A = this chain, B = another copy of it.
Amino acid sequence: MEERTNNPAARLYRSMYLIRRVEEEIIRLYPTDKIKSPVHLSIGQEAVSAAVCDHLEKCDVVFGTYRGHALYLAKGGDVPRMMAELYGKVDGCARGKAGSMHLVDPEVNMMGTSAVVATGISNAVGAALALKMQKSKAIVVCFFGEGATDEGAWHESMNFASLRKLPILFVCENNFYAIYSHVKDRMAGPGLGARSRAYGIEAELIEDHVPMTLHERAGAAVAAVRRGEGPRLIECMTYRWRDHVGPTEDRVHRYRPDSELDAKIAGDSLRIVGDLLPGDLRKSIEVAEEKRVADAIAFAEASTFPEDKEIYDHVFAS
């Protein structure tokens, strides 16, 4: 990727555009029932994964959640294998056993995602412990929703990461909701920053208005962790445009005002980043990424379902 060294906005746009377009295709395909598993879309939240991962090396390790398409793609996961996985095909990144909720790509150290909220957090801390024991230069980045911070596992994980000064960046994607439940109804007190600092972990709240600012702050946080300064947390304010699960825009459930959603859509971060680019660069990125998406879908369509006997494979590693 030639933009890697010279134009962060271009890199960000490429990554975010890919995520957006992959998910728009999922929305288009979903009614065909070719994707027979729940999908938790990241549309609206692309900037977080894209901005953070832009600062990561291949050897850096990321953990995410069932809302994991964006992270998988931003970390450089294989697009055709992701689509094949959603189709439940044998060429999927987990041979059809995982579906949308458990994407994995060990090639780029995208660890598998979990559908049980907050369970990946302690795993990420454990990976950071291992990296420290192995004297690796890599770091771990752990993504989770604000809802996950309700869980005891978050508390225990933060405490241990801080005690051991582990090389881990916690990234909270605060999209205000856990399913249809607003964060203010679930989280008492002054906020995540105060909680994080109460474990001795520096924290920063990053509003979602300007993706390039997010990019810069995320870079600073990654750099601090990489310098061995111990864990950090960034709380990235963001918003999902679609329903908690599934492809719809979800205005029917009325847990959030239409005006709130409309304002977020109007402030589309993908457009903001795209507008920073010269038109021809932007166009060339779009053309290239459109082709990747189309190829990935074709790949998924062409792949076959696993044979019946595969059901018994991999219960144990051997």
Contacts and interface: CB of A to CB of B under 8 A. Distances in A.
A107 interface: no
A151 interface: yes
A201 B188 CA distance: 9
A198 B187 contact: no
* Copies of this chain held together in the complex: 2
Contacts of A158: 188
Interface string A159-198: 1101100000000000000000000011111100011011
A199 interface: yes
A278 interface: no
Contact of A189 (B151, B187, B188, B201): B201
Contacts of A200: 188-190
Interface residues of A, number: 25
Contacts of A190: 197-198, 200
Contacts of A159: 150, 186-189
Contact of A156 (B150, B160, B197, B199): B150
Contacts of A154: 152, 155
A46 B201 CA distance: 35
8 smallest CB-CB distances across A and B, nearest first, come from A152-B152, A162-B188, A155-B155, A189-B200, A195-B198, A194-B198, A198-B198, A189-B199
30 contacts: A150-B156, A151-B156, A152-B152, A152-B153, A152-B154, A152-B155, A155-B155, A159-B186, A159-B187, A159-B188, A160-B188, A162-B189, A163-B186, A163-B187, A163-B188, A188-B199, A188-B200, A188-B201, A189-B197, A189-B199, A189-B200, A190-B197, A190-B198, A190-B200, A194-B197, A194-B198, A195-B195, A195-B198, A197-B198, A198-B198
